[in-house]
Chain A
């Protein structure tokens, strides 16, 4: 019943964290769909790259920084699994997103090669699944 007893001072960082998580999830889904479609319509490669730069990474920053903000206010006892999953998906996600963005940029330069675009689609799909697992862990808090 965390939502009922949560102090008011946690509300704003929680709002930013959830909003950032929704933006990064929607933008990653858009990246995945556009990357798959770009195999048929190559001009979509630029849409994929811009989506990563202008939506996915800013969304990730909002989610991660606001998450750290609320974690600094909230004194969570022990080391719960749901929090660990959130940190793993958050921190490893940045590495994955940077690699995906670089590959996406390569795909806009090497139109004759399909492997960068396929890699972008694969990595975006993988990160989307990881985000959904994190959403399950953070909202359902299994094991807490």
Chain B
């Protein structure tokens, strides 16, 4: 395998960690919406944390080897798809970080409820279905899919 294919493999590995992690997080998040007991919601949020770690590491790996590939494969730094992908990488991180922060507060609230009798709560249910949190988290995943499309179509290359 030459250097180009090693770089592609490592870049794609990062991308798989990001989108695969987003799918995992989405599955556990969706499952949490269907549960009532705070202790069960806490378990699902903790499982989603594994996905968040995968996304965080994958974002760094995909960016690092992606930048290396741009210089190594003679793509232009000013190419539309490169510039757009970098902007959207920042947007996806910002949205995911904001959504993740709100999810963390919901998890901490669920942990308190679990310790205080573990009874279903309308406030917890409302926090789980908060439109802004859902829009940030799921929107971040959608932005990453747009980045994947840019990587394939490469407009302006």
Q: Is B92 an interface residue (CB 8 A)?
A: no
A141 to B24, CA, bound (A): 27
A26 to B29, CA, bound (A): 14
Contact B19 A55 (CB under 8 A): no
B5 to A, closest residue via Cβ = A140
* CB within 8 Å of A: which B80-119 residues: none
A108 to B24, CA, bound (A): 21
CB-CB < 8 A to B145: which residues of A? 19
Extra pairs beyond A27-B24, A136-B9 (11, CB < 8 Å):
A4-B73, A8-B153, A15-B149, A19-B19, A26-B20, A29-B24, A30-B27, A47-B31, A59-B23, A135-B13, A142-B5
* Chain A window 23-63, contacts with chain B (Cβ cutoff 8 Å), 1 for yes, 0 for no: 10111011001100100010110010011000100010000
Binding site for A on B (CB under 8 A): 1, 4-6, 8-9, 12-13, 15-16, 19-24, 27-28, 31, 40, 43-44, 47, 50-51, 54, 73, 145, 148-149, 152-154, 157
Main secondary structure of the interface of B (DSSP, over half): helix
* Chain A window 119-144, contacts with chain B (Cβ cutoff 8 Å), 1 for yes, 0 for no: 00000000000000001100111101
Partner of A141 from the list B1, B47, B50, B148 (CB cut-off 8 Å) is B1
CB-CB < 8 A to B15: which residues of A? 22
Partner of A22 from the list B9, B20, B73 (CB cut-off 8 Å) is B20
Contact B22 A26 (CB under 8 A): yes
A29 to B13, CA, bound (A): 14
Tell which of A14, A29, A43, A59 has the most Cβ of chain B within 10 Å: A29
Contact A33 B1 (CB under 8 A): no
Q: Is A1 an interface residue (CB 8 A)?
A: yes
Q: Is A3 an interface residue (CB 8 A)?
A: yes
**Contact A19 to B148, CB < 8 A, known contacts A25-B16, A33-B50:** yes
